[in-house]
Structure 1
C-alpha cells in the first residue's frame, strides 16, 4: 500500500478526537482556528480537565503548582469534552469508535492517544513502585519527595534525569540505575552522553551504569550483581511505547513499535482516520526515513496539518506535507538541554565549546549540511541551528567549531 491513503471524500461534519493530551487538544483547537464549523468531540480516558505534561516532572511534582490544565475555553470553542471515557476499538468501515460508554459515530477520526510508559518486569503491585506519566502519578509522588525518601530511579533517560533532578531539589537521596554504559544511551552517542554522567555526581546523585534490576521488593532494589540498594520509593523511567493496543483488530496498520503508520499528511491507512503525536510515525523527506517522535513539540505542530487536511478534504485542497525538524528540551541538574533535528549513525560530529563547562553544543553534519544539534545552555545556537536545518544551508565546519562565532555566520 502506498504512503498516500485515499480518504472517503465526503464532508466531515463530525470530527472525533481520541486523546486529550497536547496533540488531541491542539487538534480540536486547530480545527476551530482554521474555520471548521462541524461538531468536534474530544475524548479523554482521564477524568481531569485536559492538561500539559512537561510541568508534571517539575512544578507539579515539587508542589510549586497544583496542576497544568490548558488555559482553553472548550465551551466557547464549541468543543465537546467527554472525559473519563476509554476508547476500546475502531470500526473504520462503519465509521464508529467503540468506547467504554458505547459506540461514537464520526465522519473523521483523529487518533491522539500518545504513549504509555514501559513497566519494570516483576514490579507491578510492589508497594512504593511508581511511574511518572499522568497527573495522578505526579500527585502520588509529591508526598514521597516531601518526606525525603531514599529514591531509586530505574533508567537514566530524559524522564529519569528530570525526576532525579526534582528529587535532589527536594532533598532526597537519589540513586539512578541504568542498564547501559551511560545515560541517554538510546538517544545520544557515547561521546556526547559521557560528559552528562558527571552531572549526576555534581548534583549529589549516584549514577550506577551497567546495572540491571533483578528484583524489586518493599524498601529495596536488588541488582544483578547482588547489590541491594535501599529504596523508600522506586521510580521507573525505562521508556515508552505508543498507546495503541486498543487498535488491535481494527485494520488500522501499525508499525514495529506499535505506532500508527501514517503518510506525510498524518493520514492513517484507513478511510477518514488521522493520527498525531506520540502514537504515530510519518515519512520524512528531509531525513529519508520514517520518524517516530515522542516529544511535546511534535504534539504541538502536527495538529495543524491534521486540521488542515480534514478541512481540505471538504474543499479539495490537501494540507501541506508534514516534515518538521524534531525539537525537544529537558531541564536537568541545573542545565537547560535542547535538541533539534535527527541524526542517524554516520553523520559527522562537531563540538562547539568544552563539554566540561556549563555551556556547549554538539552539531551533526551530513555533506556539510546541519542535520541536528544538541545545545546545553546555548539557546541561541539552538534557535539559529534549527533554522539552518530547515533551510538546508551548507556549513563551514572550521567556522562551526568556534563557539564565539554565531552559528548563523558559520555558513560555507
Structure 2
C-alpha cells in the first residue's frame, strides 16, 4: 500500500521521469486487510489494486528483493537500480514463534490462500496471540466450522494495544462465538497434532497460526547509513526523510516524530501506509507539510466493527459512551480535557467525529460526551 501510494503520488504530483515500483512478492500491488476476511472465507482469491500501472508509466518489478543500499544505487537480487530519489516501503514481517518453526503466518495473499485450504469443518485450529489478526482469523475459522482455540500470553485479548479492562470485555466475545480463549499462557512448542503451552497444558491442534505481532522488514539496510531504532524501524523526520541523501521511507517500517503525541510513533496499520505513502511522494516533490495524522485502524471481529483513533497512552481521563454490556458503545480518552483517543464498537459515527475532534485538539463537555444519545461533535467546547 505505501509503495503503491508513493508511486501514484509522484505521478499525480507531476513527476514525469521514470518510476519503478519494486516488490519481493510475485504479485502486483494488492490490499492486505481482506486477507483475514474475504480471502479466508473464499469470497475472493485476490485483492489486487485496480490501477493501470502501464498507463501511468510505472514500471512494476515484481519478485525482486532489495538486498542492500548504497548512495544512489539500490542493490537487488535482479541487479543494481540507480536512483535519484528512493522511497523505502518494505513494510513489516510477522514475528515467528521460536517453539513452533512450522506454524503458519498470515501476512501475504499466498499465506491466506494456503491457510484457506486447511480451514475445513472440524479442523482444530490453535491461534497464538489474541490480537487483531487472531480475533479476525478466529472469527472466520468458526464461520467455516473449525474448532478454534486462541492462546494469549497476556492477561486479556489485545494486551499492549488496549487497557486490560477493555480487553477483558472483548474476552466475552470469544466465548459467545464458540472460540476457546486461554490467557496467561503462551505457546511453548508445537508437535504433531498438538501444541504445548508454557503452563504445561497440551492442546490438540491440526493447524497452528501465529499472530504475535510484526517487526520492520529492514534487516537488509545494515551498513547503508539509514538509521534504525532499537526495534528496527527506520528513523525519519517530520517530512519522512531518512538521514541518507535522497531517501525517504513510508509505511510499517518507519518511526516518525509526532508533534501531536510528543513522541515518535511506529504504526503498522493500513491507514498509515495509505497516508504516509502519499506524504512521502509529496515530500519528494518539495511539499513542506509535516506528516502527523491521527492514527486510525479498524477490525471486523465476531460480528462487530471495532475502530480506534488517536493515542491513549498519555491520557489522564476515561469516559464511557454507553456500556460495554450493550451491543454498541464508545470509550473516550482525554488529556487535560482534550480528546486524544477513542475506541468504538459498532458506532462509526462516533469514531468519524472523534477523528476530527482529536485532529483539532477539541476540549469536551464531559457530561455531553458521556451521553450516547448526543452527537459527539456537540460535546466539543
Residues in 1 aligned to 2:188 and 2:259: alpha-carbon distance in whole angstroms? 43
Maintained 8 Å contact 1:277/1:298: yes
SS in 1 for 2:350: helix
Deviations 1:350-375 (A, max 9, x none): 11111011100010001111001001
Name 1:25's counterpart in structure 2. Answer: 4
Name 2:29's counterpart in structure 1. Answer: 50
Q: CA deviation at 1:303?
A: 1.9
TM-score for the superposition, normalised by structure 2: 0.98
Q: Does 1:116 find its partner at 2:85?
A: no
Q: Does 1:83 find its partner at 2:52?
A: no
Name 1:61's counterpart in structure 2. Answer: 40
Deviations 1:223-259 (A, max 9, x none): 1222110101000000001100110111110012100
Maintained 8 Å contact 2:339/2:362: yes
SS in 1 for 2:367: helix
- Paired residues for 1:6-405 under 5 Å: 22-92=1-71, 95-124=72-101, 126=102, 129-312=103-286, 318-405=287-374
Deviations 1:49-99 (A, max 9, x none): 21100010011111111110000010000000001000001002xx10010
Residues in 2 aligned to 1:396 and 1:303: alpha-carbon distance in whole angstroms? 36
Maintained 8 Å contact 2:2/2:278: no
Gaps of 5+ in 2: none
SS in 2 for 1:297: helix
Maintained 8 Å contact 1:62/1:145: no
SS in 1 for 2:53: coil
Residues in 2 aligned to 1:254 and 1:343: alpha-carbon distance in whole angstroms? 25
Deviations 1:353-410 (A, max 9, x none): 1101110001000111100100100000001010001111111112111111100001
Q: CA deviation at 1:147?
A: 5.0
Name segments (4+ residues, structure 1) moved above 4 Å. none
When the two structures are aligned, how many residues end up with a matched partner? Answer: 381
Residues in 2 aligned to 1:344 and 1:176: alpha-carbon distance in whole angstroms? 26
Residues in 2 aligned to 1:215 and 1:52: alpha-carbon distance in whole angstroms? 32
Gaps of 5+ in 1: 1-21, 313-317
Residues in 1 aligned to 2:288 and 2:114: alpha-carbon distance in whole angstroms? 42
Maintained 8 Å contact 1:155/1:178: yes
Deviations 1:185-209 (A, max 9, x none): 0100112211101000010000000
